[in-house]
Amino acid sequence: MSTVAVVSKMYCSSSQAVLVVRRRPHVVNGGGFVVTDCTQKVVFRVDGCATLGTSGELVLRDGQGNPLLLIRRQGGGVLQALSIHKKWKGYTCNYEDSQKLAFSLKEPVSHQNSICFGKKNNNQIRISLEPRKSSRDWNFQVDGYFPDRDCSIVDSNGHTIAKVGVKTEVDELMESKDIYHVTIRAGVDQAFVFGMIAILDHIYGESTTC
């Protein structure tokens, strides 16, 4: 399988990675979550919108606190009002503080009333890399149900690039939904994966919401 580099190749590991997500309460830096490796070193951090003061705006940072992705829910207006889908945009941030659109994510029509977004369900959460070749193109979709910590991100060929779960063989005590793990395939941009997870967290009203 080919390398999937969206934010940067430096976040593509040569081997499969299992990273741990720990949710922060809203009273700590506005909520969000931190991502650690097997040594408990912080690899990524997502700041919730309570820190930024703007609903529907999130920031993914590296372990040193440098911004990697600015993630925004698409604003209002006539076109948004007419659309049955809500969209998110992920912008990469470089050292010059410039931003470039990297991907977009389309919410399902009614995620609150859905039990599971499976492959046979037309109401998918889908992600498109930018720039897109056509308005119908999509590169990834979410299978399963994120609030249950039981979902996968798969590509358009059906290959799993990342999987969210609440247990590992190493740590059988990780059963809390405030602490879960993400298994990421070798060659996949880990920063990109956690940008998508940040949006899922917000969609379902979890730690990144105001």
Distances (CA, A) of 47 to 85, 92, 99, 158, 164: 24, 15, 18, 31, 20
Burial class of residue 173, CB neighbours in 10 A (0-12, 13-18, 19+): exposed
pTM: 0.84
Residues 64-68, mean pLDDT to the nearest whole number = 93
Q: How far is CA 116 from the centre of its chain?
A: 18
> Three-class SS of residue 206?
coil
Specify the pLDDT at position 116.
44
Q: For 97-130, write each residue's pLDDT tens digit.
A: 678 999 999 887 654 444 444 434 456 899 999 8
Q: For 121-175, write each residue's pLDDT tens digit.
A: 456 899 999 888 766 679 999 999 999 999 999 999 999 999 999 865 445 544 5
What domains, with CATH codes, occur in the chain? 9-203 (2.40.160.200)
Specify the pLDDT at position 124.
82
